[in-house]
Structure 1
Amino acid sequence: MDQVTAAQGFSAMGSESRLDVLQALVRAGSAGLLVGDIQSRTGIPPSTLAHHLKFLTAAGLILQEKQGRTVMNRANFKHLEQLAAFILEECCVDMDNRQ
């Protein structure tokens, strides 16, 4: 993962509301949630929620799948794992250089 992609992902998580949405989707697992279910779990007004979902989708943090007239939302676990690996990639390397 490059720094630009990582920065976009971390930036998308940069609000309490978007973190609430993302955590709700992570808790839901691979089954995902409909928009109405996310709204009821987070209390975010529908118009604001649509904005946050768009932002999270654009950053690749969630995946949306249209099912007829509804949209299923799922956490993009692969991308989230890549972000975690990116931020931890050089964990403690400077400790090895101290003498």
Structure 2
Amino acid sequence: MQDVVAFAIYVDMSTNIDELEAMEALSALAQGTRMNVFRALVRAHPEGIPAGEIAAACGVPHNTMSSHLAILSRAGLAKAERQGRTIFYRADLEGFRGLIGFLTRDCCGGRPEICAPLLEPLLESCACPPEASCG
């Protein structure tokens, strides 16, 4: 239970986003390719993935992938960094933390035991099997 309380405090201290920013992030993730790209970026964190590799793995034309990556970036879920002629994309974990914080900030109304079943799995180490990059 102390871990859940510590997590809740950590979330409250994280990046605060407002309702419009949360809706933009959720909207970005509501599209299948973008959801899969974001998950791939999280798996590859902190190294990132070149934009061309993301497009090839997803079987999506480069210009279409550029649009998806721009949407994720505007939503605060991805960051781009140019290295020479290559653009690497990384998950924006601060933005994601802000989204999780927005969604869970008022979940327990001052009673952390209400949120415990929701938050405890987030504290456990990930034992999930790897999935295909772009489903």
**Shorter-chain TM-score range:** 0.7 to 0.9
The one of the two structures with greater contact order (alpha-carbon pairs below 8 A, sep at least 6) is 2
| Mapping 1:53-92, distance limit 5 Å | 53-92=69-108
CA contact (8 A) 1:32 1:74 kept: yes
Q: Kindly provide the CA deviation profile for residues 10-67 of structure 1, in whole angstroms up to 9, marking residues without a partner as x.
A: 1111100100110110110110000122123323232211110111111121000111
Other-structure match for 2:68: 52
Q: Could you say what the CA RMSD is over the residues aligned between the two structures, in angstroms?
A: 1.9
| Mapping 1:1-99, distance limit 5 Å | 1-93=17-109
Report SS of the residue matched to 2:44: helix
Once the two structures are aligned, what percentage of the paired residues are identical? 36
CA contact (8 A) 1:13 1:19 kept: yes
Q: Distance in 2 between matches of 1:86 and 1:44?
A: 32
Q: Distance in 2 between matches of 1:66 and 1:48?
A: 19
- Give the alignment's TM-score, normalised by structure 1: 0.85
Structure 2 unmatched ranges of 5 or more? 1-16, 113-135
- Give the alignment's TM-score, normalised by structure 2: 0.64
Report SS of the residue matched to 1:5: helix
Structure 1 unmatched ranges of 5 or more? none
More helix by share: 1
